[in-house]
Amino acid sequence: MQCRAAVLHGIEQQWQIEEITVDPPKVGELIVQWKVAGMCHSDEHFVTGDIVPPAEMLEAAGMPPFFPIIGGHEGSGIVVEVGPGVTSVQPGDHVSASFIPSCGRCRFCSTGRQNLCDAGAGTMQNGMITDGTSRHFFNGEPIKMMAKLGTFSQYSAVAEASVIKVDDDLPLDVVALVSCGVATGWGSATNRADVRPGDTVVVVGIGGIGINAVQGAAMAGAKRVIAVDPVEFKREKAMEFGATHTFASMEEAMAAVTELTWGQMAEKVIMTPGVLHGEMMQLGTALAGKGGTIVVTGLAPAAQTESSVNLFELAMWNKEIKGTIFGSLNPRHDIPKLLGLYREGQLKLDELITRRYTLDQINVGYQAMRDGENLRGVIMYD
């Protein structure tokens, strides 16, 4: 079939709306008509080049050039066709994207760590995770998709492992949000940081992920949830989602946390800036007190290999630094769980969407994100 998709052709370029071809699904695959796509910062990292492998590295590995790529990994839609062997969904089902596929068989899935599923290893490479061949073509040539999903396309062929069936009565715009940003932020607080009642929690960076780390920490019973962001709009929004204090910088927060805790500092610090640079970790780790946990959620440039961490303090204060992807949650269990919390009025999702855009307005939406005007913009296909 023919459809329209937002394609990125290179670093520091704008998204271009192109006509692509999507082939029928093969074994273990299905066609999704995307209804909503979340405009996550992770796709912006392709534009800035932060997570694009250097051309010489790709050439040395015998891999094709990185661009062009169809963007989008946060989304929701309706199944329109299934290939042989697909059993968990059927045409007409509503689904959430899962940028972390879950095969259910590898050692990580079978030990309750679906966020580390082996099927996710090649999500930035060409071809399908099912057999390595392509279903998506631009000008007759295979084109890769962000996280094997490509939700910035009207239609995509995806693996069954990359979608999760959801209840048909749930609004598809909020389903899209849960597929990445909400789960990653909420899980960073409730699961990876293991926020406990009475904790003091600092969240650095209040974007689509950080705002949900704030929400998760508040839901977990934190005594203080301290949101740090230079944008006043985001600080104001953080208060609506459970923050008790806000500051424009880590330097400002440092003095305040010291005073608020009588020098004990925070039990948990969650790093969710738009881009995490190594030097930011010096203050990030210093905000945590003895026995404190620092969770690194934000993406750093792929080539960055240095970070400012006081190793003496790390050891002598018994601190720990943890990485996380998808908030260390299990997509097949936790996406429906989060939607259940939303249904019961316990999790704010509608309030996260600042603006809605058409596919043709994608560059307008991303500029609003860069300007700090959006918590989350979404693309609506209908």
Q: Which residues are catalytic?
A: 40, 42, 45, 73, 180
Handedness of CA 228, 178, 348, 71 (dihedral sign): positive
Q: Which two tokens stand for residue 190?
A: 């409730």
CA atoms of 291 and 200, how far apart (whole Å):
13
CA atoms of 278 and 294, how far apart (whole Å):
14
Amino acid 182 reads V
Ramachandran class of 230: left when φ > 0, alpha when ψ lies in -120 to 50, beta otherwise: alpha
CA atoms of 237 and 165, how far apart (whole Å):
31
Q: What is the dihedral of CA 265, 266, 270, 274, to 10 degrees?
A: -40
How do strand 245-247 and strand 224-228 relate by DSSP bridges? parallel
Closest CA to 184 of 40, 358, 346: 40
Sheet (strand 69-70) strand order: 141-142, 136-138, 16-22, 2-8, 69-70, 144-145
Residue with structure tokens 């050891």? 315
